[in-house]
Amino acid sequence: MTTLRSVRGLIAMHLLLIRFSFRSSMQYRFNFWFGTIASAVIASVEFSLLAVILARFGAIQGWTLTESAYLYAVLVLAKALYRSLASDVHHLEKYLVSGDLDGLLLRPVPVLLALMTRNFSVRVGETLLGASMLAYSLAALARDGAIELWVALPLTLAAVVNGALLLFGIGLATAAMGFWMTRIEVLQNMTEDAAHTAVRYPLSIYPGWLKALLSTALPVAFVNYWPAMFILKGAVGGWTLALSAAASAAALAAGGWLWSRGLRSYQSTGS
């Protein structure tokens, strides 16, 4: 009962902090709307490049244009969800370098929650782009009889949520390394930016070692590729979905563990 109440309290706190964070960013309306539009444009340009290649060659390594659009859409949606709900976890470095984390440690609120709600932004651009790509791809696949829409759609939404948790776990683990390293930008380039870029494309185009890496140590392939192998292609069993959930649970556990260890060895800045 008490845990239920404290969870409810945390959610209420999260919503409240997000509301104020949003109010802060609305002080700069132009910046807010322009940023929203720009991110959608950037994401669609990136996919257009992939679309051009696919239109030229028809398919890459057994993945058609519509199937690739699905992979892309699930990744974009999962990432948008992760970054909306945990925006400044990705920017922990800024707090460590400036010592601004001190202020968060003085509040009777979990530090992670305080950080997650800082500079909140709904990634409207990416979300719209991802949703429309997903709609296009699922509709086309259902028309061809490749999938049953009423089965594939809920599974896909579950994959998006699971993917967001997985990306959050990896992001949290990477950010927590900052407690020891302070500067983590390069590490984030590897575990977040490069990894996200890699799984925009079907995993089958990569050499074996990279496939293995993206499915084990840095399991981003479980965000979209492995769920799609089951949901779209039925090439693997339903256990892949369970494995995806296990991957995100493992990433979250690792992230949470590193975070609490890191917080304990936080060194702050001078004066």
Q: Which residues bind other proteins (CB under 8 A)?
A: 9, 13, 16-17, 20, 23-25, 27-28, 99-100, 102-103, 105-110, 264-268, 270-271
| Nearest-approach distance from CB 179 to other proteins, in angstroms | 12
* Cβ proximity to other proteins, 28 vs 239, nearer residue: 28
Helix axes 29-57 and 124-143, enclosed angle (nearest 10)? 30
Per the DSSP assignment, residues forming a β-bridge with 63 are 60
| Nearest-approach distance from CB 26 to other proteins, in angstroms | 9
| Nearest-approach distance from CB 231 to other proteins, in angstroms | 41
Alpha carbon distance 27, 60 (integer Å): 46
* Cβ proximity to other proteins, 23 vs 143, nearer residue: 23
Amino acid (1-letter code) at residue 154: P
* Cβ proximity to other proteins, 20 vs 257, nearer residue: 20
| Nearest-approach distance from CB 162 to other proteins, in angstroms | 30
Element (H, E) at 63: strand 63-64
Per the DSSP assignment, residues forming a β-bridge with 180 are none
* Cβ proximity to other proteins, 36 vs 240, nearer residue: 36
Closest CA to 86 of 175, 5, 187: 175
Residue environment code for 102-118, b if the CB has 16+ CB neighbours within 10 A, otherwise e? eebeeeebebbbbbbbb
* Cβ proximity to other proteins, 25 vs 44, nearer residue: 25
* Cβ proximity to other proteins, 108 vs 208, nearer residue: 108
Alpha carbon distance 94, 258 (integer Å): 18
| Nearest-approach distance from CB 83 to other proteins, in angstroms | 20
| Nearest-approach distance from CB 99 to other proteins, in angstroms | 8
From residue 10, give the alpha-carbon distance in Å to each of 3, 66, 108: 10, 40, 11
